[in-house]
Structures are given as C-alpha cells and as structure tokens.
Chain A
Amino acid sequence: MNNLNSWMQLALFVGVLLLITKPLGLFLMRVLDARGRTFLDPVLRPLERLTYKICGIDPAREHNWKQYTAAMLIFSLVAMVTTYALLRLQAALPLNPQKLPAWPEHLAFNTAASFMTNTNWQSYSPEATASYFTNMVALAAHNFFSAAIGIAIAAAVVRGVARQTMSTIGNFWVDLVRLTYYLLLPVCVVFALFLISQGMIQNFKPYDTASLTEPYTTQVQKTDDKGNPVNDAAGKPVMIDQKVDTQTIAEGPMASQVAIKMLGTNGGGFTNANAAHPFENPTPLSNFIQMLSIFAIGSALTYYLGRMVKHQRHGWAVWAAMTFLFLAGVFVLWRAEAAGNPIMTQLGVDPADGNMEGKEVRFGIFNSALFTTITTDASCGAVNCMHDSLTPLGGLVPLFNIHLGEIVFGGVGSGLYGMFVFIVLTVFICGLMVGRTPEYLGKKIEPYDVKMASLVILILAWDILGFSAWASVSNWGPPDPVTHAVTNGTNNNGPHGFSEILYAFSSTTGNNGSAFAGLSANTPWYNTTLAVSMLIGRIAMIIPIMAMAGAFARKKIVAESVGTFPVTGPLFATLLVGVILLVGALNFFPALALGPILEHFLMLTGKLF
C-alpha cells in the first residue's frame, strides 16, 4: 500500500478515464442519433445506407419498447443459433490449420449462449478447441453484436427517461448498425494495431514449433493405439516418460479479437490464460490500455445520460458514485493481495512480495488487483491473474462486484441500465422517507416502475443463489479419473470449493465470464445450467428494464419544486451507493459468509484442505 509508483498508476488511470468521458460521451450523442453526423461519415455513411437498403431497414421509423425488445431478441436468437451451428460444424469449416474437431452439443450450446449474452464464459481451453474461423466468425462477431446491443438498450432507456408522452424509444436496427460501424469498428482498428505494437499476435499461420535449448523428460499418461488414456488394473493411470524437446506455440488472429473483447466488455479469451497470457497482454502498457478500454464506454455513457436528460450534473453524480465503488474495491483487493498468505510466509516465502500465486511478474500485485476489480465492476470477465488463487478477501471483491449487479461503469450499456434500476430504487426509498411522491428527473415513479425494478433485483439473486445451491448439493463435475466416482468438479476443497461454484453462477448470471477457473465445468450438467443462468441473466433483466423504459417515455415531465429530491451532488451519490451496497449485502452476505469470509478466518488459523 505504501508503493508510490502504484498510487501514481491508479491516479493516472482515474485521470485518463475522467478525461475521455466527455469527448467519448459527445461522440456517443452523435452515433446514437439516427441523423447524427460524425467525422467518419465520408467513409462509413455509404456503407450504412447500403446496409439499410439490403436489410430493408427504414431508419426514420422508430420502435416502441415492445418492438425494440422483440427485434433485439430475434436478432440475438438468430445469431446464437448460427454460432451453435458453426461450432458443431467446425471440422468442416476453413481456417482450421490444427484440424480441431467439432464441438460437443452441450459445449456448443453453452458457448453460443455465452457469447450471445456478452458473458464469454469459456468451459473450454481456446487454443486447444477453437479454430481461427471459429474465433473470428462464430465468437468475435458476437463480441461486436452483444456490445452494440448492450449500448443500444442503455440508449433506449436513456431516451425513455429524456422523452415525455411518447411511445417510441428509437430504432433497434439503426442503433445496432450505427454503434457497430461508427463506434466499435473504428476504435477497434486503432486499438488492435496498438496491441500488435506491444507484441500481440495477428496471423493465420499454423502453430509454430520451437526447439528447446534444454530438452527435458516429463511423465504423461500412456495412451493406446486409438489415443484413449490407459489405466492399470487398479484404475490408476499408467504413466510413461516422455521426452520434450520442442515447444508448440499457439498462433492466430488474436489482436483483432482482443480489441473488441476488451472494448465491448466481452472478456472471452483467445487463450485459456486470457489477458494473463504474454501474447494476449504483452506489456504493462497494453495492460493499462486494456483496463481503460473496459471502462471507456461505460464511463462515456454516464455523460451521455447527463446530456440527454439535460442535467449534466446528474450524469457526473452517477459517475462519482461508480468511481467511489470502484476505488473501494481496488483498495480492499490490493491490500489483501499485498498482505499475502500467512501460510506461505511460514513456509519461507518472502511476505514483502504479496500473493504471487497465479499472477504475472510484469503486472505484479497492484496491476493484478486493479485489473481484477475493473473486470468485475464491468461485466468484462477478462482476467490478467487467476482469480481462483486470490486470497480469500481478494476473491471476495470480484465476487461481490458481480453481486452488486456490475453497475460500476459496468458492461457496455448493461452497466448504465443496471444502474438505472438502482437510481429508481434510491429515488423511491428517499421519497418514502420524506413522505413525498418519488420522482426522477421530473417523472413520477409509480408502482409499475418499482415492481419492474424489484423484479430485476430478485432475478439476479434467485438466478445466482438458486443455481449455486442446486449445484452444491449435486455432482455435476466429470468423473474422478482414478476412482470413476462422480464429483462436484471443484479443484479445491473446503469453503474454497463452494466459492468456485458460487463464483461460476455469479459470473454467468452477471454475464461476466471470469471464473474461479479450477471448476471443471465442461460437463453436460454444468454447461447446460450455466448456459441457462446466462440467458436468464441477460434476457430476464433486459425485458423488465425495457418495460420501464417504455413506461418512462409515456410519462409527463412535471416541473421541479422545492420538494423535489435532487439527483445531483454528494447527498444523492452517497444515497445511491448506500442503496447499492445494502441490496447487495442483504442478498448475498449469507452465501459470501460460507465461502470467502469463512476461508479468510481459516487461512489465518493455518487450516488447509
């Protein structure tokens, strides 16, 4: 905590984020206006017009909330089914130099749901499973679409708040096309090129083979002629010596995918180690810009909100509440990881180095803590350290960030529309406390709005806790390789094993995608339940929120009076933070007590599992 350099990096991060918020927010104003002009018009306007023409889209026609939501759901479903088909057909498709086979049904379903919902949970190891074609077409395309859809939903909600006595809230197709062409694509081209300059790969060649300077021998399980692993009579694997004199290096079109993976808060890795892999996050600078790109659009959307409702200070109040929650998370996580693990200290490990298990030297404690907070504040889910190996309190922070609904800048769009729910609740609760009709920006909050907001909170809690409880009393993991007995798939025992399960369903419900990756989730039961929780976490959240957007658009704006509760300033920001923390703690404290909190105290007593 006393490292001056780390404080400077944190100050720089918050400073740069603050600096880009207004310009990017103003750019969003233009992109999200069907008639908005941008400096990219000369190049992209013809492409935009052509797209409308081919697809039969009338950009002048607006949707009401039901039409908007229906168009969004139909497009998502068509794209998801397409991805499922592409994964099942991988072996027959081009750009597959490693001859990777087709995906099993449950994994293809899980992955199609995962990428469609902006979750990017990965039950598989990408470099051993996904061809270049799969990465580019089946997966990266969703990284664009799900990001654009998230922003579009947020924009529709903001329009609903800003408009009065209207039924329409924008045209889904126009938002989708314009966000993809004018915002995501141009930023990604520049971003991807920067990433290559830092050492990220972008190629289409087969995996390379390097000759080791110092070959060595390792033990591997024997396989028979058909490639099946061999066990002895007692069921134990037969191990044989294998000489290793080469290193196979996975290649592929990584930079183009990673750019949208980060900017669109998708988080699906091109490699299993995700942003911890030296190709996928080569330098501390690539790490800094990747972190910034996670928050960039979420932060700009708060400015967009302020601008659209003609109440810029409200936008900044929301920004401040988010930043407060962000910094609180960073401090707890940073402190916990820097303090390290007393059990390791007893074994002779230098406590000054902190907990380096599952972290990279180039990032160290601070940048790992910062990245972990950011990726779970937003619904990104990329990781630059292994969350499963964090200290108990270090692991509590990402888990609790997800439980709060990922509204701290949040997933692109989903952060703001999630925050909208909490704003409505805050205004409602404050209205009750002072005994006045609650109103938000001149609009009366009515029972319907509060019902919809409550639904969102309840679905979040039910989806996470219900599935976690079910999984905890089931054995959904792969069979034990030696005894063939069923397992629950956890890599750790004791409270940490429960944390792995809780984290999995929190991550999928929150559409985050990061993991306590020790969980062996690539089984029919886990893949299916996790996919269902992702679909609930996305669709069952969006529908009530869009219903609120529609209801808000129809309301009349009444003039402010002395009794109006202000939605600006420190008082509002503090109350908003309070409501968020209260709801999160009430819903999830019991579960967290069984996992990371219990483990923290057991670690202090030196208990091992």
Chain B
Amino acid sequence: MKNILLEIKTSVLALILLTLVVSGAYPLVVWALGEAMFPHKANGSLIVAKDGKALGSELLAQSFTSPKYFHPRPSAAGTGYDATSSGGTNLGPTSQKLMDSVKAAVAQYRAENGLQAGTLVPADAVTSSASGLDPHISVKNALLQTARVAKARNLSAEKVAALVEKYTDRRQLGIFGEDGVNVLKLNLAMDGIIDQ
C-alpha cells in the first residue's frame, strides 16, 4: 500500500513537470520559431485585400457559383465550405443519397459547361472532398470550365487557360502528390485582386 501511495505521488509530480515541458514550453517554442520564420503560413496563409480585409486563405476553398468564376469541388463542410466544420459526406459506395447527388452534379456540370450528354465528367468535379475545404480542382476539371469563364468575362480562352496554368500547383519537387488548380487564387487573380 505504501508503495502504491508513493507511485501515485511520483505520478502526480511527473505529470505536472512533464506537462509543463510538452504542453507549455514546447508549443511556445514552436510558436515563437514559426512567427519568426514563417509568419504568413503560421497564421493561416491569409489573402488580404488592399484595405486590410481578409478575403480567405490560400489553402481553403470558398463557394463560387456564377459562370465568371471557376467552381470548386462540392463541399460537405457544415452547410458548405465552413472552415469551422471540416469534413466529408461519409457516404459509402452503395449509398442512394450519394448517387442522387452525384447524378444531379453531373447534369449540372454538363449544363453549365455546355457539354454534350454522355460526356464523361471529371470525378473531382462531382464528388465532395474529404475536408470540404479542398482548395484544388484537377487540371482536367479546370480546362473544361475554361470556355464558360472566358465567355462570361469576354476574354479569350487562351488568356484564361494561361491563368489556369499559372495557378496550377504542380507535383511537389516533381514527384510528390498530384497536380491541382488553386480555385480561390485563380478567381481572385481574374478579378485583378492578386497578381494576374
């Protein structure tokens, strides 16, 4: 019994001391180093307008629905693109609900972009991402939207395609991951808010 009491005492002391180190000193050191070396990223990679207003984060998708903007992937985060409620649909491969929404999204995608019935639609355009905040769409998806955006803005398709190219994040170091087009940055660039 005395041994157990002794171990409890050691446990409490060790818990306090180790917690001070791993929950106190450690996150503060990382925070200080982050602020010193990567302040933009450590604070959410925010895109700030000239008047100082935050317009979003480079890393987080926002809703865009009008023809003159590229559209992000469908989102299941909260009521859509909610950056305090990230998540996917969690619907499985035999879910009626999922297939109904995919069917509707395919029809809408074809109608919006003037695609013929039967045209295969890129999977990322009609499925929800894991986070609901996926900042990217596939290059294939972006190129299928290019004609619509160019028409709505009275721009040449080449000019819009060049912007798509510019805002495509290529495989990192030429190897890791997949290519993706950052939708928010691309749309803001077309509005002239960030560099064209």
Contacts and interface: CB of A to CB of B under 8 A. Distances in A.
Nearest to B115: A348
Contacts of A609: 94-96
Query: What band does the interface of chain B fall in when counting residues whose beta carbon is under 8 Å from A?
Result: 35 or more
A56 B24 CA distance: 22
B7 A70 contact: yes
Contact of A128 (B84, B127, B172, B187): B84
B106 A284 contact: no
Interface residues of A, number: 135
Contacts of B90: 358, 386, 388-389, 491-492, 516-518
A37 B72 CA distance: 53
B133 A277 contact: yes
Interface string B11-54: 11111011101111011011101110110011111110100011
Interface string B165-190: 00001011101111010000001100
A354 B56 contact: no
A257 B106 contact: no
Interface string A183-210: 0110011001100111111111101111
Contacts of A192: 30, 34
A250 B84 contact: yes
Given A70-B4, A202-B31, A272-B86, A360 B134 contact: yes
B27 A140 contact: yes
Nearest to B5: A74
Contact of A361 (B33, B86, B180): B180
Contact of B46 (A177, A208, A212, A607): A208
Contacts of A344: 99, 102, 123, 127
Nearest to A204: B31
Interface in A264-280: 271-273, 276-279
Interface in A80-101: 82
Contacts of B87: 125, 272-273, 386, 517
Interface string A265-300: 000000111001111001111011000000000000
A308 to B, nearest CB: 26
A401 to B, nearest CB: 18
B180 A362 contact: yes
Contacts of A200: 41-42
B60 interface: yes
Interface centre among B60, B119, B191 (most CB of A within 10 A): B60
Given A145-B18, A255-B42, A388-B90, A185 B83 contact: no
Nearest to A246: B54
B176 A288 contact: yes
A492 to B, nearest CB: 5
B128 interface: yes
A72 to B, nearest CB: 10
Contact of A358 (B12, B88, B136): B88
B140 to A, nearest CB: 8
A213 B55 contact: yes
Contacts of B169: 362
B123 A349 contact: yes
Contacts of B55: 210-211, 213
A201 B27 contact: no
B102 A173 contact: no
A64 to B, nearest CB: 12
Query: Which of B18, B69, B73, B137 gathers most chain A CB within 10 Å?
Result: B18
A203 B98 contact: no
Interface in B122-155: 122-124, 126-138, 140
B159 interface: no
A203 B106 contact: no
A347 B126 CA distance: 11
B24 to A, nearest CB: 8
Contact of A362 (B64, B175, B178): B178
Contact of B175 (A5, A51, A177): A5
Among A75, A255, A361, A385: residue with most chain B CB under 10 A:
A361
B177 A362 contact: yes
A348 B106 contact: yes
Contacts of B136: 360-362
Contacts of A364: 177-178
Interface string A167-188: 0000001001100110011001
A247 B81 contact: yes
Nearest to A350: B120
A431 interface: no
A343 B126 CA distance: 14
A386 B127 CA distance: 12
Contacts of B156: none
A520 to B, nearest CB: 10
A253 B27 contact: yes
A75 B21 CA distance: 17
A214 interface: yes
B99 A356 contact: no
Interface in A326-366: 340-341, 343-344, 347-351, 353-364
B123 A273 contact: no
Given A197-B37, A214-B69, A356 B127 contact: yes
> What are the 6 closest A-B residue pairs judged by CB atoms, nearest first?
A284-B177, A518-B90, A353-B123, A276-B130, A364-B178, A284-B176
Given A189-B29, A201-B42, A278-B57, 20 more contacts: A5-B171, A5-B175, A8-B175, A56-B6, A77-B11, A144-B22, A197-B41, A203-B35, A213-B188, A214-B64, A249-B46, A255-B30, A255-B34, A283-B177, A349-B106, A360-B131, A364-B177, A492-B94, A518-B91, A609-B96
23 contacts: A67-B3, A125-B87, A197-B41, A200-B41, A204-B31, A210-B62, A213-B187, A249-B46, A253-B31, A276-B131, A278-B57, A282-B59, A343-B93, A344-B99, A344-B127, A348-B110, A349-B126, A357-B89, A360-B136, A388-B92, A493-B96, A496-B92, A603-B93
Interface of B: 3-4, 6-15, 17-19, 21-24, 26-27, 29-31, 33-35, 37-38, 41-47, 49, 53-60, 62-66, 69, 73, 77, 79-96, 98-99, 102-103, 106, 110, 118-124, 126-138, 140, 169, 171-173, 175-178, 180, 187-188, 191, 193
